[in-house]
Amino acid sequence: MDIQSELKKMLFQLNLSHSSRNIELHLSAATQQNHSHAHFLMTLLEAEQQYRRERRIRERLRQSRLRIQKTIDSFDFSYPTRIDGQTIKTLFDLSFIREKNNVILLGPPGVGKTHIAIALCYQACLADFKCRFSTAMNLINELNASLSDNSFLSLMKRLSGFDLLIIDELGYLPVDKQGADLLFQIISNRDESGSVLVTTNRPFKEWGQVFNGDTTLAGALIDRLVHHGITIQIEGDSYRVRKS
Ligand code: ADP
Ligand code: MG
């Protein structure tokens, strides 16, 4: 075997697959441009590093289950009648995730809660945080399904492994007793182990109704979320209505 094929194989065995695939290109570029050995090696490894970074971010995005991408740049902060724009912009430095703090976005339908949640999730994935975006109902359904096939504990473990768990649209649909218990377990399990971001159209005082009249559980849940969390209230007309 010639030295190049040998090298290709070796790089592959060393898990440097991108370098293995592109070694010929790098070698001929180095020869043509008369690069030093150190320069050649640096270029090769930088390309490998870049490739891995991009692959990891694609994986983060896939794992987040985000189906659309939005950024905060396309958010018009002058549209809502009430919004703490500064606090929201500060969230995008993602220190709330590093500090394992929670975020609760409260407000009527159409004011951009999901938009902000998606943009934060996207930004966090780009920064290599493990995120999961889910509606409250999908999460509860997933938890219920895991009870039926005995995968509840492994699902719990997986969910607590996320740096950021986004629970969108809490309160649109009523949550039954079992759903409420499951949600409570997830949130208390994550307490101080990672961030939760909740969006809801219901003020805290109505959470008892959301949870099937269980005001005790609703109170405990709010307590968990708010203890290490920041609540941001948005008010205004629906952006959807304006657009149509
Ligand atoms: P909510 O989750 O509060 O019900 P959404 O985030 O789903 O509202 O917003 C509804 C639609 O309007 C989305 O397409 C969103 O991107 C857009 N939208 C809402 N508020 C704004 C805003 N202030 N600037 C730009 N787009 C907005
Ligand atoms: Mg929404």
Is the CB of residue 136 less than 8 Å from the CB of residue 174?
A: no
Pocket of ligand 1 (CB under 6 A): 70, 74-76, 79-80, 107, 109-115, 199, 239-240
pLDDT at site 244: 60
Task: Give the span between the Cα atoms of 54 and 76, in whole angstroms.
Answer: 30
Residues at Cβ < 5 Å from ligand 2 ion: 114
pLDDT at site 1: 76
Task: Give the span between the Cα atoms of 192 and 185, in whole angstroms.
Answer: 13
pLDDT at site 243: 62
pLDDT at site 5: 94
> For residue range 111-162, what is the model confidence (pLDDT) as tens digits?
999 999 999 999 999 999 999 999 999 999 999 999 999 999 999 999 999 9
pTM of the complete model beyond 0.85: yes
Q: Which atom of ligand 1 is nearest to the CA of 199?
A: 2
> For residue range 64-120, what is the model confidence (pLDDT) as tens digits?
999 999 999 999 999 999 999 999 999 999 999 999 999 999 999 999 999 999 999
The residue behind tokens 């999901």 is 114
> For residue range 18-53, what is the model confidence (pLDDT) as tens digits?
999 999 999 999 999 999 999 999 999 999 999 999
* CA-closest residue to ligand 1 atom 20: 112
What lies within 8 Å, CB to CB, of 154 at 6+ separation is 146
In the chain, pLDDT over 70 holds for what percent of residues?
A: 99
Token representation of residue 45 = 């490894």
Kindly state the average pLDDT of the residues 7-13: 96
Task: Give the span between the Cα atoms of 113 and 54, in whole angstroms.
Answer: 28
